[in-house]
Amino acid sequence: MTISLKAAAKGELVFTSFLFVVAVVVLVDTAGIEQSNAVGFVGPEVFAFMVGGLMLLLSGLQIFAVLRGQRGTPEGVEGGVAVSDPNWKAFGVLAIGLILYTSLLQILGFPIMGTVLFFFVSMAIGAKPNLKLALISALVAAIIFLTFNEGLRLQLPSGLDTISRIQNPPVEGPVQEIINDDGVVVDEQDGGDW
Amino acid sequence: MDFSLFLEGFSNSLTLTNLGFGLLGTILGTLVGVLPGIGPALAISLLLPVTLMVEPTAALIMFGAIYYGTMYGGSTTSILLNAPGESGSVMTTIEGNKMARNGRASSALATAAIGSFVAGAIATGIVAIAAPSIAWIGIRMTPADFFAMMVLAFGTVGAILGQSMVRGLLSLTFGLSIGLIGLDLQSGAERLTFGIPDAFDGVETVILVVSLFALGEALYVALYGQFGKADKTAFKGLAWMTKSDFKRSWGPWLRGTAIGFPTGVIPAGGSELPTFLSYALEKRLAKKKHNEFGHGAIEGVAGPEAANNANAAGAMVPLLALGIPTSATAAVMLVAFQQFDIRPGPLLFTDQPLLVYTLIASLFIGNALLLVINLPLVGLWAKLLSIPTPYLYGGIVTFAMVGAYVLNNNSFDLWVAIVIGIIGLLFRKFGYPVTPLILGVILGPMAEQQFRRALQGAAGDPSILVSTPFTVSIYALLTLVLVVPPIFRLARARALK
C-alpha cells in the first residue's frame, strides 16, 4: 500500500513539474518575441507574461503542496471503478490503434483505418479480439463513412486513390536512376508535414 | 423586447425543413447525451461536424435542440445507470437512481423531462426579455469592464471546480497558455508555435474538447478502469407520472428554475452550485410532510433537473448579450456559433436582431420537441445503455477522431488530438478539472483582446483596469467568490452525510 502511494505521489510530482516546465516554456518563448514598433503600448508579450507568470507561481505552490503530501483524488470511472494499478497492456493497445489510424488514415482510407481504430479501442476496453469484433468494427466504420461522405458531404479519405496509384503507378523509369544517385529525395515526402 | 421581431424569429424557424433539423437535433442530442461518459460539452463538439453543411438558420435550430437534448439525455443516464455524466447531474443521481431501483423509473424520468421543459420554457422566455437589455448595457461597457467580466468568469470557474483552488486555477492557466498558441492577430508575432506552420492558427477548439473528453476518458479508462457487473436498472415503456407525482413536482420545478436561472446568468462556475442548492432546499422543505429523501424522493429529481436546465438557459444571457461563455457547454456553443460566422455579443442585437430572435425561438422549439419526443421514446434511449462498454468507447473514440479530422482534413490535427488526449488522461489521474482549461482556451484570446484594447486606450496605464465602478464591483465580487467556495464545500459535505 505504501509503495503504491509513494508511486502515485511520484507520478503527481512529475506531472506538477511538467506544468511548471510548461510555465517556463511560455515565459522563455514570450521573452523571445521580436519587438515590433507597430503594436503601440501593449504588445503580444504582456498578456503572455501574465499567464506564464501566474502559472509559474501556481505550479510552484502546487509542487510544495504535493511534496507535503497533498495529493489529488483520481476521477471515477462511469459504470466501473478506478483502480490504482495501471493496465499498460490495454493502454498500449489503445495507443497503437490511435497511432496507426493517425499515420495511415490518408493512405489507406477511413473504411480500413476506422475499422482498425474501433477494433483496437474496443479491445483495449475489454472486448475479445475475435471475428465478431472485426465484423462490428467494419460495420461501424462503414456506417460512419457513408454518413459523412454521402449524407453530410464531408469527405473522409476513401483510400481508393491509393489503390489506383498501386494499380497504375506513375511512370517512374527515369526516376529510378535519380534515386540511385540521391536516395534522400524519396524521404522528402514524409518529412513535408513537419 | 421587440415582440414583432420575436414573432418573425418564430416564423423564420417554423418551416418544415427547419423543424426536421430540430427533430434530428433532438434525437441526435438525446442519443449522444444518453451514452455514459458523454456530457453536454462533448456531445455538442462531437455533433459539430454534422452541422457543418447545414445552412445557418437550420443549424441554429439543430443546436438549440442538441443543447437541450444532450442535457436531458444526461439525466436519463443518471437515473437509470447511477452514473452522473457531469457535475450538474450529481444531485439528480442521488434520489433518481433510488427511485429507479424502487420501480419508479418512469416517474423519475417523467419529472426530469417535464421539469426540464418547464424550466427551459420559463428560462428561455426570460432570456428573450432580459438579453436585449443586457446587450444594451453591453454596448455601453468599456473594454476594461469586459476584461473584468472575463476575469470573474475565469476566477469562479477556476476556483469552484476541482479539488482545490490551486488545481482549478492551474488548469485555467494551462488553458490560457494553449490559447496563446499561434500568430498574434494584432502584431503577427508567433507565440508558442515553435516554427511549425500547422500551429500558426492555434489549436482548434473542437479538437481540444473532443480529445480532452473523449480521448482523455478512453485512455484513462483503458489504463485505470475496471468494469465489473454493470449496475443498470432495466426500463421499458413510457415515462409518465401520476397526479400525486405532479402535485409534488411543480413546486420543485418552479423553485429549481428560480435558483438555476440567476446562477446561470452570473458566472457561478456552471450547474454544480444551483443543483446542489435546489436539492438542499427541497430536502429542507420536504421534512414537514412525507419525507422520502434518501429513499427516492421525486422532489429531489424535479428540483435539481429544473435548476440544471434553467441554469443552462441562463448561461445563454451572457453568451448572447455579452459574448462571454460562463460554462464549458456555453463555451462550446460559442465555438459552434463562430463556425457559422455568428459573433455573439452586444453588437449582434443591433446588427442582426432577427438572427438573435430566431435563435431564441430555436431554443423554444428545441425544448418543446424534446418533451414530445422523449416522453414516449425514453424506453428506446434506455436500451442504448445495454450497449457493451467496449463498443461504446470504440464508437466514441472513432467518432471523435473523425470529428478531429474533417474540420481541416489534416493529419496534424490528429496528432494534436492524441497529445491533448494524454493531457486529459493526466488531468483525470491527478484530480485536475478540465472545464477551466477549456474556458481558458476559448475565452483567453478574447480576454487578451479586451485587455489590450483597454490599455491601448489609456496609453498603457494599467489603472484603467479598475477605472469604472463596474470593474471595482466585479473585482470585489471575485474576491468574495474566492472566499466562499471553501465554505460551500464544507456545507455540502455536511448535507450529504
**CA-nearest residue of chain B to A95?**
B219
How far apart CA B192 and CA B177 sit, in angstroms, is: 9
Gap between the Cα atoms of B478 and B483, Å rounded:
9
> Which cell numbers hold the place of B326?
460562463
Least confident among A37-51, A108-122, B138-152, B435-449? A37-51
CA-based nearest distance B59→chain A, Å: 13
Q: What is the distance between the alpha carbons of residues A72 and A29, in angstroms, rounded to a whole number?
A: 30
Q: How many CB pairs under 8 A join A and B?
A: 246
Q: Which residues, in sequence order, are CB contacts of A84 under 8 Å at separation 6+?
A: A4, A8, A74, B224
pLDDT of B288 strictly over 70: no
Query: Would you place residue A110 in the very low, low, confident or very high pLDDT band (cuts 50, 70, 90)?
Result: very high
pLDDT of B7 reads 81
Look at B222 and A93 and tell me if their CB atoms are within 8 Å: yes
Cα–Cα distance measured from residue B293 to residue B283, given in angstroms and rounded to the nearest whole number: 7
CA pair distance B342, B365, nearest whole angstrom: 20
Residue environment code for A102-137, b if the CB has 16+ CB neighbours within 10 A, otherwise e? bebbbebbbbbbbbbbbbbbbbbbbbeeeeebeebb
Q: Among A52, A77, A99, whose Cβ lies nearest the Cβ of B221?
A: A77
Pairwise CA distance, residues B284 & B276, whole Å = 12
- The residue in chain A having the minimum alpha-carbon distance to the alpha carbon of residue B225 is A82
Over range B174-203, report the average pLDDT: 86
Q: How far apart, in whole angstroms, are the C-alpha atoms of residue A118 and residue A95?
A: 12
Residue type, B336: A
* Range of weakest confidence among A88-92, B46-50, B105-109, B143-147: B46-50
What's the pLDDT tens digit per position in A122-157? 999 988 899 999 999 999 999 989 888 877 777 888
Vertex B416 angle, CA B415 and B419, to 5°: 90
Q: Which residue has the higher pLDDT, B475 or B186?
A: B475
Residue for grid cell 507574461: A49
Inter-residue contact B157 to B269 (CB < 8 Å): yes
pLDDT at site A105: 93
pLDDT at residue A91 in the model: 94
Read off the amino acid at residue B385.
L
* pLDDT tens digits, one per residue of B439-463: 899 889 989 999 998 988 888 888 8
Q: Residue A108's pLDDT band (boundaries 50, 70, 90)? A: very high
pLDDT at B420: 94
Confidence of residue A95 (pLDDT cuts 50, 70, 90): very high
The number of angstroms, rounded, from the C-alpha of B242 to the middle of its chain's C-alpha atoms is 31
| Rounded percentage of chain B residues whose pLDDT exceeds 90 | 17
All cell numbers assigned to B470: 463596474
Instruction: Mention every residue, 6+ apart, whose C-beta is less than 8 A from residue B230.
Output: A79, B81, B389
State pLDDT tens for residues B124-138.
Answer: 999 888 888 888 888
Render pLDDT for B339-392 as a digit per residue (tens, 0 to 9): 888 888 888 888 888 888 888 888 888 888 888 887 888 778 777 777 888 998
Cell numbers of B301, please?
A: 429529481
Mean pLDDT across chain A, nearest whole number?
80
Mean of the per-residue pLDDT values of chain B: 84
Contact A170, A162 (CB under 8 A): no
pLDDT, tens digit (0-9, with 9 covering 90-100), for A59-85 = 999 999 888 888 888 877 766 778 888
Q: Do B398 and A194 touch (CB under 8 A)?
A: no
Q: Which residues of A touch B399 (CB under 8 A)?
A: 144
Q: How confident is the model at residue A117 (pLDDT cuts 50, 70, 90)?
A: very high
> Hey, are the CB atoms on B187 and A58 less than 8 Å from each other?
no
A44 vs B184, B218, B390: nearest CB: B184
Q: Into how many domains does chain B fold?
A: 1
Q: How confident is the model at residue B178 (pLDDT cuts 50, 70, 90)?
A: very high
- CA-atom Rg of chain B in angstroms: 22
Residue B421: its chain A contacts at CB < 8 A? 98
Q: DSSP label at B269?
A: S
Listed range (A26-40, A117-131, B309-323) with the worst mean pLDDT: A26-40
- Give the model confidence (pLDDT) of B233-279 as tens digits: 666 667 778 888 888 888 999 999 999 998 888 776 677 788 888 99
Where would I find the beta strands (DSSP E) of B142-244?
182-183, 190-191, 225-226
Residue range(s) defining the domain that contains residue B405 = 3-496
pLDDT digits (tens, 9 = 90+) for B379-430: 787 777 778 889 988 988 998 898 889 888 888 999 999 999 999 999 989 9
- Report the pLDDT value the prediction gives residue A188, as an integer from 0 to 100: 39
Chain B hits for A19, Cβ within 8 Å: 170, 174
CB spacing of B393 vs A122 below 8 angstroms: yes
Would you report the helix, strand and coil content of chain B in percent, each value rounded to 5? Answer: 75, 0, 25
Residue B36: closest CA among B396, B306, B442, B359: B396
Per-residue pLDDT averaged across B433-437, rounded? 88
Nearest CA in chain A to B414: A102
The pLDDT of residue A134: 95
CB spacing of B451 vs A58 below 8 angstroms: no
- Taking CB atoms and an 8 Å cutoff, what residues of chain A touch B188? 36
B interface mutation test: which of A78, A137, A152 has the most B CBs within 10 A?
Answer: A78
Burial of B175 (0-12, 13-18, 19+ CB in 10 A): buried
Distance from CA of B226 to the nearest CA of A (A): 5
A53 φ, ψ (degrees, to nearest 5): -65, -45
pLDDT at B137: 86
B367-381 residues labelled b (16+ CB within 10 A) or e (exposed):
bbbbbebbbebbbeb
Is the Cβ–Cβ distance between B174 and B375 less than 8 Å? no
More confident residue, B214 or B82: B214
Whether A158 shows a pLDDT value over 90: the answer reads no
Please write the tens of the pLDDT for every residue from A16-25: 999 999 999 9
Spell B405-415 as b/e; 16+ CB within 10 A means b. Answer: bbbeebbebbb
What is the Cα–Cα distance from B284 to B141, expressed in whole angstroms?
41
Strands B182-183 vs B190-191: parallel, antiparallel or unpaired = antiparallel
Q: Which three cell numbers stand for residue B251?
A: 413546486
Q: Contact at 8 Å (CB) between B124 and B360?
A: yes
